[in-house]
Amino acid sequence: MIHVVVPALNEAGNIAAAIEGIRQRVEPLGLPHRIVVVDDGSTDGTAEACRALSEPDRPIEVLVHPRNLGPGAAFRTGFLHVLRGANPLDVVLTLEGDTTSDPSILPRMLHRVWEEGDDIVLKVSDNGQGIDSSFLPHIFEIFRQADASSSRSLSCLNPCDRCSFSASPTTAP
């Protein structure tokens, strides 16, 4: 199964485009999937907009933080939610609800997992100041908490593919 975690804060005006972009990339694969939106304390009706996009054969799960806790907490909530019931062969993807992430990257990310054997694939934008990898121990910690016995490889994709590396969360600080 493919699980897509979408953190969102006050994205009622953007969430439909984000969801449609995900659906356009994931549905043609013909594999079971689900979209989980984490509304991080929105005050503009983001959760309601997501629920309105949900259809019986294309459901959207909506998790809501009662107040804004920040993007890290939204990712954590989404990851922990999907990992509780995930199969070891499932894939978890993320895309921000503000449409700043291009969903066309999803097939490349899936390729890295299925064809190249990476367990975690991150797409990072390089703003010309280099890639900040200081967030990696936090990503590893989330997955360690969900499955303390696993060892995972990690890949990072930026628009030019200049950043590619692997690491194991069991050795992360």
Stretches in the chain below the pLDDT threshold 70: 120, 122-173
Q: What is the pLDDT of residue 137?
A: 61
Distance of CA 68 to the CA centre of its chain: 18
The C-alpha atoms of residue 75 and residue 71 are separated, in whole angstroms, by: 6
Token code pair at residue 65? 């933080």
Is pTM, for the whole model, over 0.85? no
* Amino acid 159: pLDDT: 39
Question: What CATH number is given for 2-99 in this structure?
Answer: 3.90.550.10
Confidence at residue 129, expressed as pLDDT on a 0 to 100 scale:
47
Using DSSP's 3-state secondary structure scheme, residue 4 falls into strand
Give me the residue spans of the domains in the chain. Answer: 2-99, 116-173
Helix (H) or strand (E) holding 94: strand 91-94
How many Å separate Cα 51 from the centre of its chain? Answer: 19
Three-class SS state of 51: helix
pLDDT by residue (tens digit) across 35-76?
A: 999 999 999 999 999 999 999 999 999 999 999 999 889 988
**Measured between alpha carbons, how far is 22 from 6 in angstroms, rounded to an integer?**
10
Please tell me what DSSP assigns to residue 89.
T
